[in-house]
Amino acid sequence: MERDVLLTMLFLIIPLFFLPILGSADPLYTFCPNDSRNYTHNSTFQNNLKQLLESLPSNTSVTGFYGTSIGDNPDTVYGQALCRGDVNSTVCQNCIQNASQEILTRCTSEDAMIWFELCQVRYSYQMFFSLMVYTGKYLDDQNNLELNVSDPVQFGNVLKYLLNNIANEAAFDPSKRMFATGEIKFSKEDTIYGLVQCTRDMSGGNCNSCLLSAIGDLETCCFFRQGGVVLSRNCNVKFEMNQFYNSSSLVLTYPYSKGAKWKTWMVVVVTCVPLLVLAILSGSCAVYHRRKKRAQPDDEKSQNALLHELARPTGVEITEDGELVPGSEDLHFMNLLTIRAATDDFSDSNKLGQGGFGTVYKGVLPDGKEVAVKRLSRRSWQGLQELKNEVILIAKLQHRNLVKLLGCGIEGEEKLLVYEFMPNRSLDFFIFGLFLPLSFLLAFIIFQIGHTNCL
């Protein structure tokens, strides 16, 4: 137990001894544009610059970030220094002092910047505080070996997930002071470590925008390597496969295990369900067309059989005493043209009413006799069945309480019944009201005495 604690303490303390060495190492990158304004030796600008650079180490070491200006226009010098968020004040001061000396030695431009592993220093003749102008720079001489992973694409996804999360934490968590680190497991053996940082004069939104742009540049250059870093004026992003910082970090887990299972399940469903639906629709269409082809000749056959059956009806009369006796009148078939002429081609002015299976029109035959014509529904099996029942029952039964069926007409889709016209009584009562209950009663009586052909 004590041994584990000791090892842990040594692990945390030993890097502190190496940080000063890192702080005095060679710079990562120096920005000294040749096409920019240059100051002259012993000029006012140079004297102001030296004074500014001398003030940066001690002031920056207090909080890790410092910005100031010295001199009057046109020789004003603006300066800013930033230490990495995981270093102590001593390491910070040493790194800024070294960076100030290096930039003064390397550059004569009035606008320059230098980056070290643990700090950065910038100066300019222009005021740049709180201004975010992103120009990322990834290092060409990183000498990182290609990462040997089984799934490079997935590695890039995991790395981006890590960097996006710690970027959001650095930008919008005030306690982080624009600095955040994190780690994430890529496999049982491999862990990715990341670091992001912004200058503290940035707003949270500008910091996040800067970091996302840097992550995009890092994705281009280094997402499949063992490490990479992108530097800019306002923010920096870095990752490695070994822990390179000395601070507590955000530990993340990439949610790809469950997602992969759901994706497989979704692929199966999305692929199979449409095929199943298509098979059902195809089968239904085939059955429908097959039945439709059968139904057409069946309809024609049923209509022909009905005509044959109605051609020679046997009349039946009901006496006042309720006895059934054979009748002598035959059912007359009428020409469709005759019925159309009688009803003025089924005009609305001759319409008397409408029932469940058709419409009734008043008509006048060529001999001047008034009739009521019931026009059954077209292309309806119910209309055909109703015609059969109505013709057989009323044509074979004559009674003073039954309206008289004079004839019928069947041509193509037209099914017509011609009744005597009852001017003093309601045709609706006889044709639509009285007929249905009475027809069922009479059918039952005839069935009982053996006249099954009436159904």
- Residues with pLDDT less than 70, the chain: 1-24, 140-149, 256-270, 292-331, 356-357, 378-402, 424-455
* Dist. CA 386–CA 330, nearest whole Å: 20
Binding-site annotation, residues: 374
2-129 matches 313-454 in fold: no
Q: What is the pLDDT of residues 399-455, one digit of tens each?
A: 666 677 788 887 777 888 888 887 765 444 445 444 444 444 444 444 444 443 333
Q: What is the pLDDT of residues 118-164, one digit of tens each?
A: 999 999 999 999 998 777 777 765 555 556 667 888 999 999 999 99
The predicted structure's pLDDT at residue 418: 87
* Dist. CA 214–CA 135, nearest whole Å: 9
The predicted structure's pLDDT at residue 368: 87
Among 300, 289, 291, which Cα is nearest to 384's?
A: 300
Q: What is the pLDDT of residues 176-196, one digit of tens each?
A: 999 999 999 988 889 999 999
The predicted structure's pLDDT at residue 450: 46
The model's pTM is 0.54
The predicted structure's pLDDT at residue 405: 79
- Given this structure, which CATH class describes domain 152-254? alpha beta
Among 40, 65, 38, which Cα is nearest to 125's?
A: 38
The predicted structure's pLDDT at residue 272: 74
The predicted structure's pLDDT at residue 260: 45
Binding-site annotation, residues for ATP: 374
Q: State both tokens at 116.
A: 């070290």
The matching CATH number, chosen from 1.20.80.10, 3.10.50.30, 3.30.430.20, 3.40.50.1820, for 2-129 is 3.30.430.20
Fold designation for 313-454:
Phosphorylase Kinase; domain 1 (3.30.200)
**DSSP letters for 261-301:** HHHHHHHHHHHHHHHHHHHHHHHHHHHHHHHHHHHHHHHHH
Establish how many alpha carbons lie within 13 A of residue 83's alpha carbon, considering only the half-sphere containing its beta carbon: 30
Establish how many alpha carbons lie within 13 A of residue 13's alpha carbon, considering only the half-sphere containing its beta carbon: 6
Residues whose CB is less than 8 angstroms from the CB of residue 391 and which lie 6 or more positions away in sequence, other chains included: 310, 313, 331, 405, 408, 417
* Dist. CA 140–CA 231, nearest whole Å: 12
Establish how many alpha carbons lie within 13 A of residue 332's alpha carbon, considering only the half-sphere containing its beta carbon: 13
**196-200-206-211 Cα dihedral, nearest 10 degrees:** -10
The predicted structure's pLDDT at residue 400: 61
